[in-house]
Structure 1
Amino acid sequence: MNMNIASLKEVVSAEEWQLRVDLAACYRLVALYGWSDLVFTHITARVPGPEHHFLINPYGLMFDEITASSLVKIDGQCNKIIDSPFPVNPAGFVIHSAVHEAREDITCVLHTHTRAGVAVSAQKCGILPISQQSTFILASLGYHDYEGVAFRADEKPRLQKSLGHASHLMLHNHGLLTVGKTIADAFLNMYRFESTCQIQTAAQAGGELIHYDAQIYQGDDSAAQYVRGGGTGGGFVWPSLLRKLDRLDNSYKH
């Protein structure tokens, strides 16, 4: 696959370029934290403007190869808006397009197939109230039943209903999905979602579990209010994550 792609920095608006840099950074961070599944998941971001265009990964690239200019700009039917030498995966966009269609309030959709996420998604109990991390998830969580590989458009209404207004969606027997008003918010939501699942699977391997009271995430607890308020903490941690990336490899900015 040809990796020599021209920079789009002078081609797109400054706002879109910043979105591209942040989304490329998000892909690199997902790879860095070990959440990628070779090339088989996606993170999408809505491009500002009335056209309902989106940025998606060039299909076939590992997440740690993705750059701002290699991201592919598509419409709601997965047609390329800007010519690109890279292919896209229409089947992979079904879930993302369903969420973007239903949630005008969000910019980014992040989907993973991690071992811990899929393991908990296969448990009838779902997310258990056993960790502080889970308070953030349980305050804004939906579940969606498995219908096979998600490439059929007729599943979209059911996906939309399952997510509702939540920030986190557990896809049974499949994996995890988060949304955010910003890319930073979607990433932080996934960090907590993934941590919650890792903690749960580790705790289940030990002794009897302690469940905390549901009022902690259903009532006026600060964690619940934080999530219901739109996850405003993503912007706080994002600069430090970008500094971490820059120390390792800043090629995502190209």
Structure 2
Amino acid sequence: MATAAVQKTGMHEAEWEARQQLAACYRVFDMLGWSEMIYNHITLKVPGEEGAFLINPFGLHFSEVCASNLVKIDIDGNKLDDNPYPVNLAGFTQHSVFHRHLPDAHCIAHTHTTAGMAVSSVEGGLKPINFYACNFAGQIAYHDFEGVTVRTEEGQRLIANLGDRRIMLLRNHGILVMGRTVPEAFIKHWALQRACEIQLATAAMGTPLQVSDDVVAVHQRDLFKAQVPGGPGKADFDAMVRLVDRTDTGWRN
């Protein structure tokens, strides 16, 4: 299938594989309830093409994204293919600044999940009060809400606030995660979303128990011992793709 698509479109094999993996990620996000109408974005750098990345076509639901309808644009927002769909300016403005300045930010995901927006909208943000939240203690950057992200000058502040971290809660706005691979970005988002969901549930029950700094340090040190070989998130992501394939394989086209 990949070879036929490559021959038909003229694109190189690495780009088609990247397109399929990103399209699968959109379908996984939708399956897990992380879609937001036709909004939000997951972007991925095109292998071997400096400054080029893939983004979802503006107007399609996550469940409609497939490998062939992803839009390829350059770092300045110019289309690099003949895709008829437009690109959401808010998605381009936010994602392009990170792709431009961060060599390791190959995949970037931004969502408006209920739990992510709720935790980003309270004083103190995510707190180390559950297993998953302890994964992220000391590793989350925060950026104040400035309205819809369509102004390029906000990019400077986004980069400054992110610093050397690759996970950000956009205050009053939602989740932003970056990964060296699609599976890594996926597993970061999954764990952060779970942490936020559990924080909401805990807050509804009473006063949360906060995990001490010493225990958090041990937890983060030992996390790698519970990981499956293959790279961060690979086994998890592959399992979710298998679930998507049980109902729809159209994302591969």
TM-score scaled by length of structure 2? 0.91
Distance 1:79 1:246 in 2: 33
Q: Distance in 2 between matches of 1:48 and 1:232?
A: 18
Higher helix share: 2
Count of matched residue pairs: 244
Pairing 1:110-149 to 2, within 5 Å after superposition: 110-149=109-148
Q: 3-state SS of the aligned residue for 2:69?
A: coil
**Corresponding residue SS for 1:111:** strand
Structure 2 CA distance, aligned partners of 1:61 and 1:89? 11
Cα pair 1:113 1:176 within 8 Å, conserved: yes
Q: What code does the residue aligned with 1:83 have? A: D
Asked whether 1:198 is paired with 2:197, we answer: yes
CA distance in 2, matches of 1:55, 1:62: 16
State the Cα deviation string for residues 162-184 of structure 1 (Å, max 9, x = none): 22222310000000000000011
CA distance in 2, matches of 1:59, 1:223: 41
Map of 1:67 onto structure 2: 66
The match for 2:32 is 33
Partner of 2:18: 19
| 1:86-165 correspondence to structure 2 within 5 Å | 86-165=85-164
Name 1:52's counterpart in structure 2: 51
Gaps of 5+ in 1: 1-6
By how many angstroms is 1:223 displaced? 5.3
2-structure distance, mates of 1:54, 1:39: 19
Structure 1 counterpart of 2:60, one-letter code = L
What is the CA–CA distance in structure 1 between the aligned matches of 2:96 and 2:84, rounded to whole Å? 22
Contact 2:51/2:100 (<8 A) preserved: no
C-alpha contact 1:135 1:224 (8 A) present in aligned 2: no
The residue number in structure 1 matching 2:234 is 235
Moved more, 203-212 or 130-139: 130-139
2:57–2:69 Cα contact (<8 Å) kept = yes
Q: Matched residues in 2 for 1:24 and 1:184: separation?
A: 12
Q: Is the counterpart of residue 9 in structure 1 residue 15 in structure 2?
A: no
* Deviation (angstroms), 1:222: 2.6
Q: Could you tell me how far 1:219 is from its partner in structure 2?
A: 6.0
* 8 Å CA contact 1:9, 1:69 repeated in 2: no
**Contact kept? 1:47, 1:53, Cα under 8 Å:** yes
Deviation at 1:157, TM superposition (A): 1.1
CA distance in 2, matches of 1:9, 1:247: 25
Q: Measure, in 2, the Cα distance between the counterparts of 1:217 and 1:223.
A: 10
Instruction: Quote the Cα distance in structure 2 between the aligned partners of 1:154 and 1:219.
Output: 40
Q: What are the equivalent positions in structure 2 for 1:179-190 lying under 5 Å apart?
A: 179-190=178-189
Given that 2:168 and 2:176 are in contact with CA atoms closer than 8 Å, whether structure 1 keeps it comes out as yes
* Residues 123 and 52 of structure 1, relative CA distance in 2, 3 Å threshold: same
Taking the aligned partners of 1:223 and 1:23, their CA distance within structure 2 comes to 30
Aligned to 1:3: none
The residue identity in structure 2 corresponding to 1:152 is: R
Separation in 2 of the partners of 1:87 and 1:149? 18
* Dislocated runs of 4+, deviation >4 Å: 223-226
Give secondary structure in 2 for the equivalent of 1:159: helix
Structure-1 separation of matches of 2:138 and 2:16: 33
CA shift digits 1:55-77 (9 cap, x unpaired): 00010000001100000000011
State the percentage of identical aligned residues: 39
Is 1:212 the counterpart of 2:248? The answer is: no
Q: 1:102 Cα deviation (Å)?
A: 2.1
- Contact kept? 1:24, 1:67, Cα under 8 Å: yes
Task: Name the SS of the counterpart of 1:110 in structure 2.
Answer: strand
Would the alpha carbon gap of residues 63 and 85 (structure 1) be closer, same or farther in structure 2, given more than 3 Å must change? same
For residue 252 of structure 2, what is the amino acid of its counterpart? K
1:58 maps to a residue whose letter is: P
Q: Any idea what SS the aligned residue of 1:153 has?
A: coil
CA distance in 1, matches of 2:122, 2:245: 38
State the alpha-carbon separation in 1 of the partners of residues 154 and 223 from structure 2.
Answer: 30
